[in-house]
Each structure stands twice: as C-alpha cells, then as structure tokens.
Amino acid sequence: MFDVVFNHHINSFIRQVEKIREKAFVFVIESYNEAKVKYDEYKVEKSITKQSRTFQIPGYTIPVVNIEASPFRVEMFPLGYVIPKEINTPNFTILGSGFLVPSYTLVLPFPELPTLRVPKFLELSLSELSIPKNIFIPTLGNITYDFSFKSSVITLNANAGLYNQS
C-alpha cells in the first residue's frame, strides 16, 4: 500500500518537474534568441547606416610646463558610452627640450554572442524508482540517504534519514 502511494507521488512529481523543465527550456531559448536579435541590431560591422560615436579632442598646450598635445579621438561602442572601442592617445611635445612622446592607438575587441544550437526535442529521462519491501533498521546508529542529480537544465536533490530514538 505504502509503495503504491509513494510511487504515485513520485510519478506525479516527475511529471511536474518535466513540465517545469520544458517551460524553463523554452523560456531560456526564446530569451536568448531575442537578446541575440537585439544585439545583432546594434552591431557596428553589420550596420552601415549607423554612425559610431566618436569624440574628437582638439590639440592643446599646457602653458606653465610648456607641454603641447596633438588632437586625439575616442571611438565608443554603439551600445553605450561606458566602454570605448578605440582610443588614440595624443603625442606630447615638451617645448624647449624637444622631448616627444608618440601617439598610440588602443583597440578593444567587440564582444560577440555565440550562436546557440539546441535540438528541438531535447528530452530528459529519469529512471524509474522502486522501493524495497523491507527496510532493516540497525539497533545502533542512524541511516541517511542523499540523492543528487545535476544537468545543465535541472538540479534535483533528495535527502532521507531514519534516526534511532534510543
């Protein structure tokens, strides 16, 4: 009797887990695809009509120390003003001494989302659980059982314990 009720509850639990897994899987795939479409929309290499954000800094001279800086520019990613894509540093000339610091160009790579390929009918199968008819409880000590199942989609943990009250 106990076995039938317990197996019924386990089978019901497995059906619920599979429904939730399927909904979560569909949600993750749809969210990823929407994010990839929006990301590809803002890509500089694919968009010829969109202008990149470039800040041009004019040349200047610091009068007290006689340092002259050439004009330079900072090009930003189209996604925001936080991370620059390319920085051209100015070259510095110290007047009077003829000391020259050359200009440098620093280019950061553009982050790219990979294409996610997932089979349409990805299925997770759980093994059938069976319960022994007799459980022998030792007179000294306790029995504990830990079950853990991990995959990239779901994590399942189960703990059970029989404790001696003497």
**Other beta carbons less than 10 A from residue 133's beta carbon:** 7
What are the extents of the domains in the chain?
Answer: 2-40+124-162, 50-107
Q: Are 88 and 103 in contact (CB under 8 A)?
A: yes
Residue with tokens 């899987």: 25
Residue (of 147, 149, 141) closest to 159 by Cα position: 147
Rg of the chain, C-alpha, whole Å: 32
Model pLDDT, residue 120: 61
| pLDDT for the residue numbered 31 | 85
Is the entire prediction scored with pTM above 0.75?
no
pLDDT in tens, 87-104: 677 777 776 777 777 777
- Residue 44 confidence class, pLDDT cut points 50, 70, 90: very low
- pLDDT tens track for 7-38: 777 888 888 888 888 888 888 888 888 888 87
Q: What is the pLDDT of residue 52?
A: 61
